[in-house]
Amino acid sequence: MKFPRNARIFRGQLDASPFVGVLFLVAIFLLLNSSLVFTPGIAVRLPEAADLPGATNATVAVAIDQAGRLYFQNQVVSEDKLKPKLREAVREAREPLTLVLLADQSVPHDQILRLLKLARETGVKDALFATRQPAAAAARTNSAP
């Protein structure tokens, strides 16, 4: 028995509108996931250091920008208001807290020492300085398999 063939090979022009629609969707997806999206935060230039250990227990972060302003939980605070907030964080923690200090590389040492002393008075056990990897070390870790 012979069946009739209904399939024909399309020989006309291709409609471009579905392809354009998919292209626009891909472009929107790439733009939303790119670094063009503004990420709020505090502008701090951390000093460079390689292969330093990190914190093993609970941490609390305090940032100091180039102008010497203190930030706790992304909010500007004074030293007077920082002390009770750190004390409350220590009280709420179930284990000893480590202070992670995100200090700009141009902040004077006396201001850092004042902050470390304040943290010690509130019950913070350890303090670590946040650093960034040097550019050469970052390139090596990104290219390693």
Domain ranges of the chain: 59-135
Residue 118 and residue 86 in contact, taking contact as beta carbons nearer than 8 Å? yes
CA separation, residue 131 to residues 28, 49, 135 (Å): 35, 6, 12
Task: Flag whether pLDDT at 130 surpasses 90.
Answer: no
Report residue 88 as tokens: 């409350």
Q: Which CATH architecture has domain 59-135?
A: 2-Layer Sandwich (3.30)
Q: Tens of pLDDT along 67-124?
A: 888 999 888 999 899 999 999 998 998 888 888 888 888 889 899 999 999 999 998 8
CA 134 to CA 145: how far, in whole Å? Answer: 19
Query: What pTM, to 2 d.p., does this model score?
Result: 0.63
Q: Tens of pLDDT along 14-45?
A: 788 889 999 999 999 888 776 655 556 777 77
Question: What Rg do the C-alpha atoms of the chain give, in angstroms?
Answer: 27
Query: Quick one: pLDDT band at residue 142, thresholds 50, 70, 90?
Result: low
Q: Which pLDDT value is given to residue 53?
A: 75
- Would you tell me how many other CB atoms lie within 10 Å of the CB of residue 107? 19
CA 113 to CA 87: how far, in whole Å? Answer: 18
Task: Flag whether pLDDT at 8 surpasses 80.
Answer: no
Residues forming beta bridges with residue 98, ordered by sequence position = 59, 126
Cα–chain center distance at 69: 20
